[in-house]
Chain A
Amino acid sequence: MNTIQTLIDAMTQGSIYALMAVGIGLVFGVLRLVNFAYGQLVMAGAYTLALTNGWNPALSIVTCFAVVIGLTMTMEVAAFRPLRNASPATMLVATFAISFLLQSIASLKFGILGRTVGTLTGLNRPIGDGRLLVRWVSIVAIVVAVIALAALVLLLNKTSLGLHMRAAAADFRTARLLGVRANLVISFAVLLSGVLAATVAVILTAGTPYVTSDYALRDTILVLVGVVVGGLDRLWSATLGGFAIGFATGALGGFLPSIGDWPFTSGVYLDSAVFGLVILVLLVRPDGLFVPRGRQTVERV
């Protein structure tokens, strides 16, 4: 029973991280920009949900999407666009700055004590008679992730905008020389990443309702590590990488004893165990865990 429960929890964590990985991977694909501030988009969504606690849940969620998408597009216009021809290092440092800026703003505006989201607390209830502690939010997270990923696959494979995005991700210059509109494709990718961030905010706050200014920061770092380990130059390998690190974190957290001294106490040594695995993977498969051998295009380590 316990094993099943842990595996479902790990799947949940993996699904949420996969969504974040897609959000980061989409923008990387067209801009070659690693958005470190992605977690702060989720944080902004979480605060929006917390501040609209008394509202009708549907209205609260719509507001969350509006705020996160608005913030994402502001980021695109104010930061990404002026830096489009800058080096990847410059862009990464810029997103670091945005990340800390948004965290500081949140601390100043909402205090350091944090807020609690009550929008979808019903999802926190266990399914069934309570012997198996599977929460509704676990199922919702997995289902939403599957639907969102399926929709994205359809969009990328069946529409001309999706085709343009795939072409732009593989070779942006040639895509422009064929008449693909760079601004449109980039804005659309950034927009999608915002939609995914808002989705993650809604799911994450249902399971972890206590929102502080560093909300989703640790998740973002883990997802970034996951997409690098998976392989950042392909959307599907980045997504699998995100899922894998989420799954590993969830599973290790469940299987490792929560009390005792050795070998790895969950909570205390969880990060050590996860990053130990990451180092191992990078040593064995430096091209990315899910990238076919001999197909490296992006330097990772």
Chain B
Amino acid sequence: MSLVDELRAVLGDEDVLEQPVELHLFSKDASLMRGQPSCVAFPDNAAEVAEIVRIAERHGVPIVARGAGTGLAAGASPTEGGIVVVSTAMTDIAIDVDNRTAWVGAGVINLDLSREASPYGLHFAPDPSSQSACTIGGNVANNSGGPHCLAEGSTTSHVLGMEVVLAGGEVAFLGSQAPDPPGLDLKGAIVGSEGTLGFVTRVLVRLLPIEPDVRTLLMSFDTVEDAARTVSDVIAAGLVPAALEMMDRRMCEVVENWLQAGLPIDAEAILLAEVVGESDGVASQAGVIADIARLNHTTDVEIAATPEDRALLWKARKSAFGAIAQLATDYYLHDAVVPRTRLVETMKAVYAIADRHGLTMANVFHAGDGNLHPLIAFDASDEEANRIVHQAGEEIVAACLAVGGALSGEHGIGVEKRDLMGANFTELDLDAQARLKEVFDPAGVFNPRKVLPSGSRCFDFGGIRRELPDGVWV
């Protein structure tokens, strides 16, 4: 039987797509890299995914897991062909209010989970900007962050267990509702592995109580340096706000032009800070943050007074990437992370790189985490522009690594940054990661040639014995 026929025998005709226009739709995620899938499958549960894995292994074709396709690093682009396996039919949510956990299908949309949980006074902490579209399965694959992971950590801190289909079609339940399940934390290795170790079908997540009160502050500055220094000073003062976000002037202009959210368009940079907790606590925390901003020459501090004002400010923040369409047809959104104390110098370096290449750049990022998101607007149909944008991107990454940063704070490695991994890790580090991949996926079925550059598995220490004389301490 052909690949498609075998899949249809398991999933039914409608749940396997193979028409050219359908394949085109699933040939890329939100990155700029396109692949060519053989077909697209929509399983309903782990048993069906297990069958797909066995079929893929028999046919020797890769499986590329996909949620909503909002990934920015080509993690869900079928760059090596194969079956794109979409999680969107797996949408069950079972909330355990007493234990503050939920079993969630991989295809559940991030925001839907928090909506379902809110009547119980609970929410799911990770909140990527794409949260109204992205899926929990995608969040797990990428260890997604978002503005509010400053205080609560990224997705991995909120995944307690999972149902996962492993190589050979084995279905495993890893982790537990109880703390510290004994043995190696295999679940912790799978979170953030970008679909390269297995296919996660259901996730046991931690839910957090919704805090009783919240204040959102909007602070304007005449220089990016003043804004960045405010971020460092807030953290240094012993406060960990729920979120601490920065937008530069260019970004404020395009967002304001579109949404009229009340963002200042004459400030060089704005900070959006949010504090949560009991009423007395948030009032005093907001006061401390405002004082620090004043010491750093803020030109204006506003505190959102109503839920509507708050929602509008957050909408402005999370809509930033959409608003950029006013500047050019395409954008390249970068993601790198630096120690918070190196923000000011890194931002200067990033602006200098954009200036040098004559690029239109806007910035909106998770300043509290030191997680930068320089966004370059350009026309992707122009080959020369593409080349320059990628060149600038590599320079930005190099500037971040030079101050002790890392390649990616939340978007992942995928294909986009795969070949830069050697700048972040030694050969031995990459070899160790390649061994992990091989243990989980010896046949290389799960999302091959992602995350790790080719040649990562290059060390064989078995040979060392022969090189040394007897009796030598090595």
Asked whether A and B interact, the reply is: no
Query: Which B residues have a C-beta under 8 Å from some C-beta of A?
Result: none
